[in-house]
Amino acid sequence: MYSIIIKGTKNSGKSTTIHEVCRLLEPINVSELNIGEKQITHRDGNLDNGTYIIEVNSKNILVIAGAPTEQDATVTEIMEVCIKLKISIQFIISAMRSRELKPSFDTINELKKMSTLLLIEEIHRIDGDDFQESDEWINRISKISRIITNNL
């Protein structure tokens, strides 16, 4: 299993970045993972600050669009729900706050224990209404998408 972390401050664009990367991957199925209720429900594409399973090329990608500290669930706890639901994960893309202040959270080391961590992409907010047309945005999304596609 492989993983990528999108790391940034509160309003840096982590979930927006993850949403766009997932859109480019053209998943054939998108489901929301409800960690507290340990269940999965079908979703019609748009990803918010939650946790999702997307299917791309018959492989499941765990998408943690809201940082684990924001969801109050560690990556290990989220994976335990996947295991309980018998969902096989081949790739993880996870948001992460620049600093994890909650004592039991260590997203980087958790991912290193359960996967090969391919990238920690530290991002910052791109200002302007036309940020999606900037070279920085296009390069960020292309780079992350390419790494995922090449490792699925």
Q: What are the per-10-residue average pLDDT scores of the chain (152 residues)?
A: 94 90 93 89 78 95 92 94 95 92 90 96 89 90 96 92
DSSP 33-98: EETTTTEEEE--S---SSEEEEEETTEEEEEE-S-HHHHT--HHHHHHHHHHTT---SEEEEEEES
The reported pLDDT for the residue numbered 45 is 65
Residue the block writes with tokens 């199925």: 29
Q: % helix / strand / coil in the chain, to the nearest 5?
A: 35, 30, 35
The reported pLDDT for the residue numbered 100 is 82
